[in-house]
Amino acid sequence: MSLDSFVTLGRSALRVSPLTLGTMTFGEDWGWGTDAEHSVEILAEYLDRGGNSIDTANIYTNGHSEKIIGDYFAGQPSKRDRVVFGTKFFASLHPGDPNGGGAGRKSMIHQLEASLRRLQTDYVDIYWLHNWDKFAPIEETLRALDDLVRSGKIRYIGLSDLPAWKTAEASVLSHFRGWTPVIALQLEYSLLERTIEGEHVPMAEALDMAIMPWSPLKNGFLSGKYRRSAAMPADASRSMITGAPSEADYDVIDVLHQVAEDVGASPAAVALAWLRTKPAVTSILIGARRKEQFVENLAALEVALGEEHIARLDAISKPTLNFPAHVLETGTPMLGYGGTRINGVQTTLWPMLAQSTARY
């Protein structure tokens, strides 16, 4: 597989690369990013290899990420329509202004206009709600997004980091009102963060929405730099934010290194290749502060994990999910299906019914 092995994003005709370039590190405004020159090198490398999907946000390095991208394409305007720009709104860049951020109509329009100015484009392909705004009615947000689609300033709609129940509400509301549908979700997902498998993943499958995982290497913990037997990499600026792996994390990291050695790939490539096998995952967000790191991550497209390796990684990283996940997995099949085989799945019989039938 390569970056130009395009996939459609959810229930849409939008074609994107299987790996999306994440640009949260573009710009040094937060003290640990990549300067403009080297950011452009990563961007050019991605495009040269056939990639077409670029993700940013208004808040990334205080808007500098969007500006770096905009400056690059302003010098090569013919490339603009051949790439998929995604940016996010919600974060306020205006302290003290109650309408500077969030998901209300006034703030959304202001945030989009500012992003378009920094990106130096007339439209963005995917406009993502970055977080849930508890103070904004979801119908106001969705209707405003639909208006922006109709105006031609955005093409598609995505949601990031919303609870599953709110996402489902948004999807159903858009459907019955005839508004532009939600086609994709950005959610944290990795070998070290799998709890979305309880609610978000089955919801996305049922509603035909793509999942675009962020932090697929869990703050670098799965990059190969961390080993239980080695000192933690020195990176004071990032470690203040990310912390260090726990002992449970190292249990997963140990197996990841073992599988990487078995298949002859880097731990980062294996972690990304594992994620590509998961339901509803369409395009994975990857980013790096150095071009070398970025190229190493692209190698994930060449890794084909066998069933045994996937099973080992699945088992060591199996999450504890919220109620009612365990009931649905164990109790429900025993209670409802009578030990029969349905859609290729053999169910078991509830022990208390094994020797009896209905008597009343």
Catalytic positions are 60
What does the H/E/C string look like for 264-320?
A: CCCHHHHHHHHHHCCCCECCEEECCCCHHHHHHHHHHHHCCCCHHHHHHHHHHCCCC
Q: Could you tell me how many residues make up the chain?
A: 360
Q: For residue 93, give the DSSP letter.
A: S
Alpha-carbon distance 11 to 86, whole Å?
17
Q: Which residue type does 236 have? A: A
CB 210 within 8 A of CB 237: no
Q: Which residues of 162-180 are buried (b: 16+ CB within 10 A; e: fewer)?
A: bebeebbebbeebeeeebb
Which residues make Cβ contacts (< 8 Å) with residue 78, sequence separation at least 6? none
Tokens of 213: 């995982």
Tokens of 137: 């009615």
Task: Name the maximum alpha-carbon separation found in the chain.
Answer: 79
